[in-house]
Amino acid sequence: MKRHLIGILLFTSIVAGWVFFFPPNPLTSDQKLIDHFERNRQSFEKLAGLASADAELTSLDRQTVVLNGRYLKRAEVTGDFWPVRLNQYQALMDELDVWQLDRPSTGGGAIYFKTRSVAVSDLNNLESIVISKDYVYLPWQPSPLSDSLDDKNFETSVNCYKKIDGTWYLYFDSGISKPE
């Protein structure tokens, strides 16, 4: 019995030490995201096409829409065109498991597709480090490029890209979240 207890304690210590010194990457692997992209490429292309055609749209999620710089709740968007168009966006976003679409006004045609591959690590009571991996459509080659984003974690402070194919990339984002 004593041997079993010692074995269990030793095994637990080794596992705890491994996790402490080599913490697992909390983000979805590059390959899993790329496989998802390849299975759903047509839908990603369609969503990028919609966003490229709608120059006044800069951001969209389930609750809010940013049109021409105005933040609106989805229910506030009226007219003949936008409610139908928002439903098209939402159907594609749901299919692709994308929770937010962003088109930075200074992005030169960049479209970011925010995934649920997000992790948060508290720094203190007021700030947290937030990291994520997302898809991005870029009509130009970004910098810096990396062969892998799988080695990026909370200690990584450089945002970087990994090429998927053509104008499609994965994007590693790291930042500090502060209360407003």
20: pLDDT strictly greater than 60: no
> Rounded to an integer, what distance in angstroms lies between the CA atom of residue 119 and that of residue 145?
22
Is 6 or 31 the better-scoring residue by pLDDT? Answer: 31
**What average pLDDT does this structure show over 133-148?**
96
**What average pLDDT does this structure show over 23-42?**
90
The reported pLDDT for the residue numbered 3 is 54
Is 93 or 9 the better-scoring residue by pLDDT? Answer: 93
The residue among 121, 127, 125, 132 whose CA lies nearest residue 98 is: 132
Global pTM? 0.82
**What average pLDDT does this structure show over 5-12?**
46
**What average pLDDT does this structure show over 62-76?**
90
Work out the pLDDT band at 134, boundaries 50, 70, 90: very high
**What average pLDDT does this structure show over 33-58?**
96
96: pLDDT strictly greater than 90: yes
**What average pLDDT does this structure show over 121-142?**
91
Residue type, 132: S
φ, ψ dihedrals at 166, nearest 5°: 55, -115
CB 154 within 8 A of CB 137: no
> Rounded to an integer, what distance in angstroms lies between the CA atom of residue 175 and that of residue 47?
26
Which position has the token pair 């995934």? 115
Listed in sequence order, the DSSP H helices in the chain are 2-21, 30-39, 41-53, 82-96
Which position has the token pair 């890209």? 161
Map out the domains of the chain as residue ranges.
30-177
φ, ψ dihedrals at 32, nearest 5°: -65, -40
The reported pLDDT for the residue numbered 126 is 85
